[in-house]
Amino acid sequence: MSFGASVKEIWKRVAGVEASGIDPSAENFGERKTTVTPLGMNSIFAPFRTTGIQNALPKPTAANLRRFAETPVARRAINCIKDRIACMDWRIEVRQSAGEDLVGDRGKRAEALTRAFEMPNESDSFRTMIEQVIEDTLVGGFGAAEIDTGDSDLPVRIYPVDGASIQVNGNWKGNPSEPRYAQVTGKLGKEALLPLRDDELMYVRLNSRSHTPFGLGKVEVAFESISHFLQAHRYAARLASNSVVQYALWLNERTPEQHERLIRWWQDEVEGSGRVPVLSSEQKPEVLKFAAGTDADLRLEWQQFLLTMIANAFDLPAMMVGVSQNVNRSTAGELADEAFQNAIVPLAKLIADHLTRDVIVKRLGWSDLRFVWSDLESRDEAVEMEIQTKLLAAGVLSVAEVRALRGLAPAELASPLVE
């Protein structure tokens, strides 16, 4: 029995599902099969199963990966990237190599696809859908969404999926009829694994590497630095709240009874009262310092260094996570541009490529259309308008094409996609 036949037989026996395809005449055609978060917080512990896809590799993430993503510094870094991308304007446009529209339905298909992206499923808008994919991509490098076909009005449906519950077939050879992914549902028996073909799941890998089918999330890169920062921050909090002893009082040649009397007197009469204590003894008591008693004890410089390391893991300037040293008006603008080019643009283009390849081309078979982020072309509105005006005056672009580039509705006698 060949590898492909053996995999299909395993799916048929374990999951009770034929991997060769879906019957369009079935009653549940077009309905979602996966669950959003089948294992909850334990999804990052998805155990290795000997059944299911051969050579399936579990995502090796630490127990506190998602919890670390909810800490203030990591959340600030994630939101700097996620919110900026999710708020971008986008459009569906014709590929430059698409050629002529022989059928004449390209404009209608683009409009239908735009509506489908604006309402990807019953409960999400495009922003809420893409935010979940970007969140998982940044946290663990495993952004995922199930893709299903719809009707002529909404040709595709997109459902965000917990990427940590996805297993990957390491020996998938590119056969579209064989399952490439499987979702660990947390159920027993035949429903323990849900097989998914390559065109049924969009799986975004951040920092793709050759030795593993999994990506590498930015929180994974910063995991150790975040852990050290939380420990240093917790120690500084205890020190600042006087829960860590910094001084000791040394009394020479005193009996244990005298020590006990002094301790009770100090606790009853002095501590918390605000009154000046008066001491009399033959020898002056000596105060022993366990620390310098300054802000250096809080290890603030060490915390600043850890913040810089966390920012580096997210490809962000340290200014973006709260480090204010060496930042002024002359450098703030350059650092903001650096954050946009290094952290936002690469991830936004990666998401756009997956939406184009996995959703539009693989699932729908529309190779003449693509998904584009409008805000990536130019950050400066004045520069963008100047360039478009010059291209319009030179006859390189038409009015309809310029309106389409600016995200405006088409004129009555012109289409934004087709002249």
The pLDDT, as a whole number, for residue 364 is 93
Which position has the token pair 């990666």? 350
Report the pLDDT value the prediction gives residue 28, as an integer from 0 to 100: 56
**Residue 13 domain flag:** yes
CA distance 107 to 369: 10
Of 174, 191, 215, the residue at which a domain comes to its end is 215
pLDDT digits (tens, 9 = 90+) for 257-269: 888 888 888 888 8
pLDDT tens digits, one per residue of 279-315: 777 777 777 776 666 667 778 888 889 999 999 999 9
Q: How confident is the model at residue 47 (pLDDT cuts 50, 70, 90)?
A: very low
Of 179, 196, 215, the one marking the end of a domain is: 215
Highest mean predicted confidence (pLDDT) among 115-119, 249-253, 411-415? 115-119
Does any domain span residue 136? yes
Residue that terminates a domain, selected from 215, 245, 275: 215
**Are the beta carbons of 400 and 419 closer than 8 angstroms?**
yes
267 part of a folded domain: no
pLDDT score of 405 more than 90: no
Asked if residue 397 belongs to a domain, the reply is yes
Is 163 within a domain? Answer: yes
- Mean pLDDT confidence for 74-102: 91
In a domain, residue 414? The reply is yes
Structure tokens at 215: 């990506």
Instruction: State whether residue 107 is helix, strand or coil.
Output: helix
| Structural domains of the chain, count | 2
Q: Is residue 319 a part of any domain in this protein? A: no
b/e burial code for range 289-323 (CB count within 10 A of at least 16 → b): eeeeeeeebbbeeebebbbbbbbebbbbbbbbbeb
State how far the Cα of 3 lies from the Cα of 106, in Å rounded to an integer.
Answer: 40
In a domain, 33, yes or no: yes
Q: What range defines the domain where residue 182 resides?
A: 3-215
Give per-residue pLDDT as tens, 158-212. Answer: 999 998 888 888 788 888 889 999 998 888 888 889 999 999 999 999 998 888 8
